[in-house]
Amino acid sequence: MGIYEKLGLTPIVNATGAVTRLGGSRLRQSAIDAYQQASNQSVPLEQLQAAASRQIAEFTGSEAGLVTSGAAAALTLGAAAILAKLDSGRMEQLPHTENMPNSFLVAREHRSGYDHAVRASGARLVEVGFNEQVAGAGVRRVETWEYEIAISPQTAGILYVYHPQSHPPLPQIIEMAIRHNLPILVDAAGELPPRSNLRDLGASGVDLVAFSGGKAIGGPQPTGILCGRKDLVASAALQMLDMDDHPDLWSPPESFIDRSRLFGMPRHGIGRGMKVSKEAICALLAALQEFVSEDPSSKNVLFYQWLEQIQDSLSDVHVNCEIVQSTVPEVPPRLELTLKSQGSQDAFRICQQLRLDTPPVYVGHNKLEEGTLVINPTVLNEDQIAPLTDALIKVLSDSES
């Protein structure tokens, strides 16, 4: 009996992808090995994070880096670092920010549920621009001047959510932010692959970038990376690390945290509840090493073959199958199944029925309103292709009758 069956659960066929609510990606074997080895000995955490910082800097081209408990935690810590900098008094005060510049400019079209993580630091979001295209009441995207006119003495920084279609283009925002001496915090949590984004964003001139460790990198689900400016990464680290050392003995590696710049030794900060274990740090570093050095094309060819196999098996049911290749390099293909004659209600019902099947099947639900189910192969096992195909044939044939 498997570990989940012992708990009374039935493991699912995850055709949705490396999403957090379904447990993220499959942990790489190298990360499992690192996790186990790391557990056998002890090291001071600030020394381990300093070593992680050097490795992350190497892979991203940033000055420094920190392993966080996920990209969301990286966003909270990144915002906290921009608010407090190396001021121990401000660190102590967060999330209360009344007496400091506390607003982050964010395009209305960049807002999402994830920005709660930024607000959790005490930051206040000030929206700029509109979302005319979504409203269907206009055609223009947010423009850089709209950030510029919103800058006030209360402005602490800029929150930018990166994806290939993000607007305004990041270089424009960087140029504007430099002119106004404002730091930029970038949410790029799900923007790997392509692997080149590690460096393209890490060395782009933005101040801090957040990546997820438990998505494509294949590290532990509750890990992430915050990389960027050394002083800000130091502030983020100080606000996360356990600070119960003796003040006369505490000596973090100077290259990572320059104690001489601090007025006093901060106590536990706002990120103390977002701690990362030595095991998780080592596992993330092992996964990152493998992620940057592996060519994803052979994996993607295999994924394509699986999707073709499913497509062939569905030739007799009433559905349009299309294998969609992303325009973004290195991103795995997906299979879109669009119902021929039915509407979104049927797609919704089919999606729901698949979840009630044995084993439960979870497909991507982001295009249900267009009558489309999405099969993402990244977390599937080879031996799940047959049960997945059977479940799809059954539910799609039923829906015809």
Ligand X SMILES: *Cc1c(COP(=O)(O)O)cnc(C)c1O
Under the rule (CB under 6 A), what is the footprint of ligand X? 20, 70-72, 114, 187, 189-190, 212, 214, 224
Q: Which is nearer to ligand X, 90 or 110 (CB)?
A: 110
Q: Which is nearer to ligand X, 76 or 300 (CB)?
A: 76
What is the pairing mode between strands 319-324 and 103-107? Answer: unpaired
Closest residue to ligand X, judged by C-beta, is 70
Token digits of residue 30: 């190298």
Shortest distance in whole angstroms from residue 333 CB to ligand X: 20
Residue 254, C-beta contacts closer than 8 angstroms, at least 6 positions apart? none
Shortest distance in whole angstroms from residue 93 CB to ligand X: 25
| Cα separation, 117 vs 119, whole angstroms | 6
Structural contact between residues 266 and 245, judged by C-beta atoms closer than 8 angstroms: no
Q: Which is nearer to ligand X, 71 or 368 (CB)?
A: 71
Say how many residues make up the chain.
401
| Cα separation, 64 vs 44, whole angstroms | 18
Structural contact between residues 172 and 144, judged by C-beta atoms closer than 8 angstroms: yes
Q: Which is nearer to ligand X, 71 or 317 (CB)?
A: 71
Shortest distance in whole angstroms from residue 236 CB to ligand X: 15
Q: Which is nearer to ligand X, 70 or 218 (CB)?
A: 70
User: Strand ranges (DSSP E) for 102-177?
Assistant: 103-107, 124-128, 155-161
- What CA–CA distances, in Å, run from 288 to 194, 202, 285, 325? 13, 14, 5, 24
Q: Where are the alpha helices (H) located in 17-168, listed in sequence order? A: 29-39, 45-60, 71-84, 88-93, 116-119, 132-135, 144-148
Q: How many CB atoms lie within 10 A of CB 345?
A: 12
Shortest distance in whole angstroms from residue 133 CB to ligand X: 19
Shortest distance in whole angstroms from residue 113 CB to ligand X: 9
Shortest distance in whole angstroms from residue 74 CB to ligand X: 7
Write out the H or E segment, with its range, that includes residue 338.
Answer: strand 334-339
Q: Which amino acid is at 7?
A: L
Token digits of residue 104: 């982050």
What is the pairing mode between strands 224-228 and 208-212? Answer: antiparallel
Shortest distance in whole angstroms from residue 79 CB to ligand X: 13
Q: Which is nearer to ligand X, 378 or 384 (CB)?
A: 378
Shortest distance in whole angstroms from residue 82 CB to ligand X: 17
Q: Which is nearer to ligand X, 20 or 342 (CB)?
A: 20
Q: Which is nearer to ligand X, 104 or 306 (CB)?
A: 104
Q: How many CB atoms lie within 10 A of CB 50?
A: 20
